[in-house]
Amino acid sequence: MNYPVWELYFAGGGLLIAFIAVVHVYVSHFAVGGGLFLVLSEIKAYREASAPILEYTRRHAKFFLLLTMVFGGLTGVGIWFTIALLNPAATSDLIHTFVFGWATEWVCFLGEIVALFIYYYTFGKMRPRQHLKIGWLYFMFAWLSLFLINGIIDFMLTPGRWLEDGNFWSGFFNPTMWPAMFFRTSLAFMFSGIFGILTAVFIKDDATRRIMVRYCGRWVLFPFVAVLVSGYWYFKALPAEIQEMITRRSPELWVYFKWFWIVSAAIFVIGVLKAAWAPQRLGKALAFVLLAIGLMYMGTFEFMREGGRRPYVIYKHIFTNSMRVRQQAEVNRRGILQTARWVKNRQITAANQMEAGREIFRLECISCHSVGGVLNDILPVTAKFSVFGMDSQLDGMGKINRYMPPFFGTRQERLALANYIVRGLHGKKDADEPVVRTDPGPVDVPAFDADKDSYVLLAWNDLGMHCISDSDPYWVLLPPANDLMAQLIKRGPKPEVVTRDVVIEYRVEPDFENPASHVAFWNYAHAVFGKSLKQNIGLSGNGLKGEMEFNAERRVFEADLIPVVPYPDSGGFNPYPMFTITARDKKTGRVLATTKTTAPTSTEMGCRNCHGGKWRVAGVAGFSAETAMDVLKMHDKHNRTDLLARSRRGKPVLCQSCHADPILGAKGDGVRLNLPAAIHGWHANYLSMRGTEACYKCHPSSPRGPTKCLRGIHSKTMDCTSCHGTLEDHALSLLKAEAAGGKAEARRLMAHLVPRKVASVGDVKGRKPWFNEPDCLACHQGYGPAAKGSSSFNRWTAGREKLYRESHGRHGSLMCEACHGAPHAIFPAANPYGFNRDNIAPIQYQQKAASLGKGNCRVCHLKKPGRGGHHDGM
Amino acid sequence: MTPVTLVPQPDVLQVPWGWFQALLVFTFILHLLLMNTMLGNAILAVFAGLGRNEDYHAMEKQASVNLPYAIAFTVNIGVAPLLFLQVLYGHLIYASSVLMAVYWLSVVGLLIIAYYCAYIYDFKFEALGSRRTLLIAASAVLMLTIGFIFTNNMTLMLTPAKWQAYFSNPNGTILNLSDPTLVPRYLHFVTASVAIGGLSQAIYWKIRQQKGLEQAASRVAIGMRWFFRATVVQLALGTWFLLALPSGVLSRLTSGALYPTILLIAAATAVLLVLYFGIKQQVWPAAACVAATVTIMVLIRDFVRAAYLEPFFSLSDLKVAPQYSPMIMFLVSFVVGLIIVAYMLKLAAAAGKEA
């Protein structure tokens, strides 16, 4: 914000600081521990009156001088140079807060240099007692250096009370300062053993070499125990959120965490080898291996420490990209281009959008990301994104997963940044999804003779749209499983719903008879559902044609879980396959009535909008392998699961095997969130402040898409949010119920969601998915017309039995859907594949696309009925 | 976008700026003297290595012994002024450093190589034979390069008008080559190093002479000759540097106001004395006058810096949130540290005699 940013595309991503810091820290710890090592080795030489050991100590001192003073000293200055270039704002904070800490450390540095020069150059020339005194003074200065720097470095991880009082001492004696000090001191001693072995293996005299290698081996082993003990103390002293970041939240840190333990074991084994046997044959090679392992040890620890404080460079004070916590609100309001100093494009226009995006990229991204470099390369992690996906990813940063800072700036700036990454860095064209042309073909409506026909057969699909995840080789969210319902009415002066002595059959139109040749569901049904299914037979045993069963409770004939898919055998995509429903006399087989209905089913699920990959079928729908795998990859990354590996072993996962879901009757494991809450809750964090776009980027309701599932009468004046709320509202309603049930994860997902339909989270009414849904009667009070602008958000049905799709009219005879159509396709519906494709029954029986019997009781009633009707308001 | 809008907001100080200013000036003078000794000895070692006579050989050998110490203390004593500079002018030097980041960061690598060259030169002085001159020449060239990079940054941090270049080159490869003061300023420091390199040798051999080494006298003379000739060249360079200053800055310096006038008169007097003692080959008075000159020059440099920055920044603008205890910790540890260092040096001085 305050400073120019060095545009380090290839060498960025922390490569410079990682390189210089790890080697410096390794050598500088040696510079501390090695001081004591020299003194104690010299004492050992005097005690044992051993000239070879004294000579070894002298030679080791020369090695020590050349390594620690030249390389160690200058790389230390190098770190300072480097951090000032990469994060001047945080460096300035450290300098201004701790200037006298640094200055005191400088005095120690001076003392170290003088002591070390004298120690080495007077070796053998000074009286032993005085020479040892110089050695002790060196060690004192070196350890005090570590003491001072440790306080400041650890301050960055746990600034403690400094955040409130800004006091030097609060920052220095921060909550983890002491455990860190013990940890680093132990490391320093251990490293002095590692470097001791490195010089000891070159001793020519066999006996001396063996003695000294074993001696150094003990220098590795004993401090190693202290490293583990103090390391545990250090870890336990960290605030819970940092512990969690290291062990759970940060995907990359997990690798370092694992390696830390592997390397620990290696150090222990080699340490024991050296201390106990000092093997001759592998001596030199092992010494170098140990040296490399020591460096890895330092590296993994430093990466964990730096990673643990993410997304901050000074915890809760300044982010890794130099953005200050306290500036966030202002920058979001005024914009990063207005508040940062080193910016050329202050306003975004169509002409400069790319250049402005690049400037924002420079300000907010390249302090951690390289472009095509070795570390934290931004290219592979953003390759999958469209501008929309990238923008959404930026939206979600710093919310649920806090290892990256939040985006600072306005919506327009965020879009400019997304545009730069996708179009600029990746060179993608990223045109908007084309408008899908659907074929509004003729709809063949069965005949009905109002004067002669005795029966009215009504059929419908209960949900109005059933989505299918045809990502079967990887995971299953929803299998092909459509439910059809039918009611047969015997017309008369007093019409009655026929429930006996009839057979009601269903049959899909010919082009849709072979779903198994379009989706891999049947190959994985056993692995996913534990059922061996015949081709084209669904989970309940129903196929694409068959008899419906009578459900006495609902007084309806139904065929459930019909495995229809939106892929015609002749090719392409049609999410509204047509079924013919026929009612026959059970005894004679005579056809009593025939009608049709669609079984709406779509694979237009837009996961690819953010997860990458293309559509699998006809360029308009279906899951490509790339999309499906990325979904698993992200799930694995964020939740430490192994779903992708499982799918590769031929065991795709059913989401509901862990997550409860009332629609499938899945109970879940009781710990994790139910599936709708998990999915909406997670993604709402990435799709905030949007309208229906947030809905149709996942669900098949895009106005440009091939399904347009919201097609009923409500689509004329309303959109998804009218009943369901915006995505934030919707997600909060689901999460609140889960939070009330004691699921902590719900609170984590809710933390950054702000409701938009109501004033506060407190005003959102929690609900159970699929059962507490927007109540029709909330707007249609007394079954009357809805007032303009009314919304049923937050006015949920009391339970499953109150759902529209479960409800009957007065007398409990006809189901609501029988006369009004399926949800989202309430009559009159405008189907993109033929206007009346969803209006068959009204057209068939009353030649008018409207609620059945509206002003036309004669559809069923051959004699004018009395007052009241099927519900109030008729 | 004007240059002023690019100047970052400085952070808050812990004690009033005067403290930092005093510490900066004091430690910078020490650093400058050490740096001059280091670079001067390196350059002198190259030329002495090319010479054939006994005196040159001895002086070259002495330079090889001096150099590792000189580098170590130049770096160490350099840390302090760089720290205090960042406290007072961090917002300026961080910005300019980023602009020339590639060069600025390369200082670390170059210095490590130069340092190891100097150690090899010292430890393998005889074994290397004539190749050692090549080695120390490489070290000297690296040091000269580092100096050039420093001069670039120290001028770039004062001239935000040049910072606009960032918008066409954000890759950290900007140098301040178009600055008219860059070359005279750089040569001014290099020449000072040659002079002080000569003087440091003269001092060493003067001590040896006082301890009775006969051959030392001619080496003192050679050292003083280097010193004197370089100082004469310095007169011309100093004038060039002075006249190359932007008119606004120069007029502030020559405005006749009390403080700059005293500084200029003091500088002129000190330089005359330096020349006098130089030509007279009086080592100790010359050394004292050099210390005085460097001190005055650092104060003038400071005045010039303030004049450069006047349009957009003054030290008195810096806000203070006072907390004195850390400074007391530093001052106490500084004194204790120096006492311990003195004690160690005493032990070291006694060591040779006992052996």
Min mean pLDDT across A294-308, A624-638, A731-745, A825-839 is at: A294-308
Q: What is the largest CA-CA distance in chain B?
A: 69
Question: B286: which 2 tokens?
Answer: 């010359």
Please tell me if residue B5 touches chain A, with a CB cutoff of 8 Å.
yes
For residue A601, the SS3 value is strand
Asked if residue A858 has pLDDT above 60, the reply is yes
Q: Which of B108, B166, B351 sits opposite A74 (nearest CB)?
A: B108
Tens digit of pLDDT for each residue in A150-208?
999 999 999 999 999 999 999 999 999 999 999 999 999 999 999 999 999 899 988 99
Q: Are residues A390 and A451 in the same domain?
A: no
Q: Which helix (H) or strand (E) holds A550?
A: strand A549-551
Q: Are residues A189 and A246 in the same domain?
A: yes
Asked if residue A745 has pLDDT above 80, the reply is yes
Percent of chain B with pLDDT over 90: 94
Q: How confident is the model at residue A640 (pLDDT cuts 50, 70, 90)?
A: confident
Q: Output the CA–CA distances (angstroms, integers) from residue A442 to A570, A593, A602, A704, in the order listed.
A: 17, 22, 21, 21
- Predicted local distance difference test score (pLDDT) of residue A193: 94
Residues in chain B with CB shorter than 8 Å from the CB of A127 are 351, 354
Q: CA–CA separation, B5 vs B311, rounded Å? A: 12
For residue B159, the SS3 value is coil
Asked if residue A756 has pLDDT above 70, the reply is yes
Q: Are residues A349 and A237 in the same domain?
A: no
Residue B111 near residue B78, CB atoms below 8 Å: no
Contact B355 A126 (CB under 8 A): yes
Q: How confident is the model at residue B354 (pLDDT cuts 50, 70, 90)?
A: very low
Question: A325: which 2 tokens?
Answer: 């916590």
Residues 81-140 of B with CB under 8 A from A: 82-84, 86-87, 90-91, 94-95, 97-99, 101, 104-105, 107-109, 111-112, 115-116, 119
For residue A407, tell me if it sits in a domain. Answer: yes
Residue located via tokens 């960061």: B105
Residue located via tokens 């990454």: A421
Q: What is the largest CA-CA distance in chain A?
A: 127
For residue A764, tell me if it sits in a domain. Answer: no
Tens digit of pLDDT for each residue in B299-350?
999 999 999 999 999 999 999 999 999 999 999 999 999 999 999 999 999 8
ipTM metric: 0.96
Question: A422: which 2 tokens?
Answer: 């996708």
Chain B interface test: which of A15, A24, A87, A99 (most B C-beta within 10 Å): A99
- The C-alpha of B219 sits at a distance from chain A's nearest C-alpha, in angstroms, of 25
Mean pLDDT over A684-700 rounds to 96
Q: Are residues A458 and A519 in the same domain?
A: yes
- Helical packing angle, A283-308 and A177-200, nearest 10°: 160
Residue of B nearest to A95 (CA): B87
- Rg of chain A over Cα atoms, rounded to whole angstroms, equals 36
For residue A735, tell me if it sits in a domain. Answer: no
- The C-alpha of A107 sits at a distance from chain B's nearest C-alpha, in angstroms, of 6
Residues in chain B with CB shorter than 8 Å from the CB of A78 are 105, 108-109
For residue A251, tell me if it sits in a domain. Answer: yes
Asked if residue A775 has pLDDT above 90, the reply is yes
- The C-alpha of A225 sits at a distance from chain B's nearest C-alpha, in angstroms, of 33
Residue of A nearest to B116 (CA): A70
Contact A70 B345 (CB under 8 A): no
Q: Which helix (H) or strand (E) holds A560?
A: strand A556-562
Other beta carbons within 10 angstroms of residue A716's beta carbon come to 9
Q: Are residues A115 and A246 in the same domain?
A: yes
Residue B157 near residue B96, CB atoms below 8 Å: yes
Q: How confident is the model at residue A99 (pLDDT cuts 50, 70, 90)?
A: very high
Q: CA–CA separation, A258 vs A45, rounded Å? A: 40
Q: Which of A70, A91, A118 sits opposite B348 (nearest CB)?
A: A118
- Predicted local distance difference test score (pLDDT) of residue A278: 62
Asked if residue A493 has pLDDT above 90, the reply is yes
Q: Give the up-direction half-sphere exposure of residue B201: CA atoms within 13 A in the CB hemisphere.
A: 39
Tens digit of pLDDT for each residue in B250-285?
999 999 899 999 999 999 999 999 999 999 999 999
Residues in chain B with CB shorter than 8 Å from the CB of A166 are 321
Q: Are residues A494 and A345 in the same domain?
A: no
Q: Are residues A169 and A298 in the same domain?
A: yes
Contact A7 B72 (CB under 8 A): no
Q: What is the DSSP letter of A785?
A: P
Residue B282 near residue B274, CB atoms below 8 Å: no
Asked if residue A273 has pLDDT above 80, the reply is no
Q: Are residues A344 and A262 in the same domain?
A: no
For residue A198, tell me if it sits in a domain. Answer: yes
Tens digit of pLDDT for each residue in A510-557?
999 999 999 999 999 999 999 999 999 999 999 999 999 999 998 999
Among A379, A397, A425, residue at a domain's last position = A425
Q: Are residues A311 and A332 in the same domain?
A: no
Residue A31 near residue A24, CB atoms below 8 Å: no
CA angle, A109 as apex, A106 and A111 as ends, to 5°?
Answer: 115
Q: How confident is the model at residue B3 (pLDDT cuts 50, 70, 90)?
A: confident
Q: Output the CA–CA distances (angstroms, integers) from residue A855 to A116, A712, A810, in the order listed.
A: 104, 20, 17
Q: CA–CA separation, A448 vs A629, rounded Å? A: 50
Tens digit of pLDDT for each residue in A319-345?
999 999 999 999 999 999 999 999 999
Dihedral angle over CA of A200, A203, A206, A207, nearest 10: -60
Q: Which of A20, A77, A85 sits opposite B98 (nearest CB)?
A: A85
Q: How many domains does chain A have?
A: 3
Tens digit of pLDDT for each residue in A597-623?
999 999 999 999 999 999 999 999 999
E strands present in A637-688: 653-654
For residue A184, tell me if it sits in a domain. Answer: yes
Question: B348: which 2 tokens?
Answer: 């070291």
Q: Are residues A347 and A304 in the same domain?
A: no
Please tell me if residue B239 touches chain A, with a CB cutoff of 8 Å.
no
Query: What's the count of helices (H) and strands (E) in chain A, helices before strands?
Result: 30, 17
Asked if residue A793 has pLDDT above 60, the reply is yes
Q: Are residues A73 and A174 in the same domain?
A: yes
Mean pLDDT over A440-460 rounds to 94
Mean pLDDT over A125-139 rounds to 96
Q: How confident is the model at residue A641 (pLDDT cuts 50, 70, 90)?
A: very high
Q: What is the DSSP letter of A796?
A: B
Closest residue by Cα to residue A71 from B210, B201, B75: B75
Other beta carbons within 10 angstroms of residue A301's beta carbon come to 21
Residue A157 near residue A305, CB atoms below 8 Å: yes
Tens digit of pLDDT for each residue in A453-463?
999 999 999 99
User: Which positions ≥6 away from B47 have C-beta within 8 Å?
Assistant: none
Among A279, A301, A318, residue at a domain's last position = A318
Contact B98 A3 (CB under 8 A): yes
Contact A168 B14 (CB under 8 A): yes
Residue of A nearest to B5 (CA): A341
Contact B170 A6 (CB under 8 A): yes
- Predicted local distance difference test score (pLDDT) of residue A338: 96
Contact A74 B171 (CB under 8 A): no
- The C-alpha of A375 sits at a distance from chain B's nearest C-alpha, in angstroms, of 18
State chain A's mean pLDDT as an integer.
93
Q: Are residues A476 and A327 in the same domain?
A: no
All structural domains of chain B, each given as residue ranges with its CATH number in brackets, are 7-315 (1.20.1630.10)
- Predicted local distance difference test score (pLDDT) of residue A566: 97
- The C-alpha of B334 sits at a distance from chain A's nearest C-alpha, in angstroms, of 6
Query: In Å, how far from its chain's centre is CA A395?
Result: 12
Other beta carbons within 10 angstroms of residue B36's beta carbon come to 25
Mean pLDDT over B24-52 rounds to 95
Residue A550 phi, psi dihedral angles, 5° rounding: -85, 130
Percent of chain A with pLDDT over 70: 98
Mean pLDDT over A827-852 rounds to 95
Q: What does DSSP say about strands A556-562 and A578-585: parallel, antiparallel, or unpaired?
A: unpaired
- Predicted local distance difference test score (pLDDT) of residue A269: 79
Q: How confident is the model at residue B1 (pLDDT cuts 50, 70, 90)?
A: low
Q: What does DSSP say about strands A502-508 and A615-617: parallel, antiparallel, or unpaired?
A: unpaired
Percent of chain A with pLDDT over 90: 81
Residue of B nearest to A343 (CA): B167
Among A390, A425, A460, residue at a domain's last position = A425
What are residue A485's DSSP bridge partners? A460, A558
- Predicted local distance difference test score (pLDDT) of residue A252: 66
Q: Which of A66, A81, A111 sits opposite B104 (nearest CB)?
A: A81
Residues in chain A with CB shorter than 8 Å from the CB of B65 are none
Contact B8 A118 (CB under 8 A): no
Q: Could you tell me the pTM of the whole model?
A: 0.91
Residue A481 near residue A510, CB atoms below 8 Å: no
Question: A691: which 2 tokens?
Answer: 């309208």
Residues in chain B with CB shorter than 8 Å from the CB of A135 are none
For residue A763, tell me if it sits in a domain. Answer: no
**DSSP codes of every residue in A50-115:** -HHHHHHHHHHHHHHIIIIIIIIHHHHHHHHHHHHHH-HHHHHHHHHHHHHHHHHHHHHHHHHHHH
* Domain enclosing residue A357, as ranges: 323-425
Residue A236 phi, psi dihedral angles, 5° rounding: -70, -25
